[in-house]
Amino acid sequence: MILDMLALDVATTEDLGLIERARAGDDSAFGELVSEHEKTVLRTAWRLVGNAEDARDIAQEAFLRLHHNLGRLDPERGLGAWLYRVTVNLALTALRGRKRRPESALENANLVAAASSTRPEQERRTDAADARRLLAPVLERLSDRERAAVILRDLEGLDMKDVARALGCRQVTVRSYLSRGRLKLRNAVQNTGGPS
Instruction: Give the residue, 144 or 139, on which the prediction is more confident.
Output: 144
**Domains in the chain: boundaries:** 1-103
* Residues shown for the chain: 196
Quick one: pLDDT at residue 186? Answer: 84
Phi, psi of 107 (to 5 degrees): -65, -45
Phi, psi of 89 (to 5 degrees): -60, -45
CA distance 27 to 22: 6
Contact indicator for 121, 113 with CB cutoff of 8 Å = yes
Contact indicator for 1, 156 with CB cutoff of 8 Å = yes
Mean pLDDT to the nearest integer, 20-32 = 90
Q: What is the DSSP string of 43-103?
A: HHHHHHH--HHHHHHHHHHHHHHHHHHTTT--TTT-HHHHHHHHHHHHHHHHHHHSPPPP-
Question: Residue 67 above 60 pLDDT?
Answer: yes
pLDDT, tens only, 162-180: 888 888 899 999 999 999 9
Q: Rounded to the nearest 10 degrees, what angle do helices 27-49 and 105-114 cross at?
A: 140
What's the CATH architecture for 1-103? Orthogonal Bundle (1.10)
Instruction: Give the residue, 191 or 117, on which the prediction is more confident.
Output: 191
Question: Residue 117 above 60 pLDDT?
Answer: no
The overall pTM is greater than 0.85: no
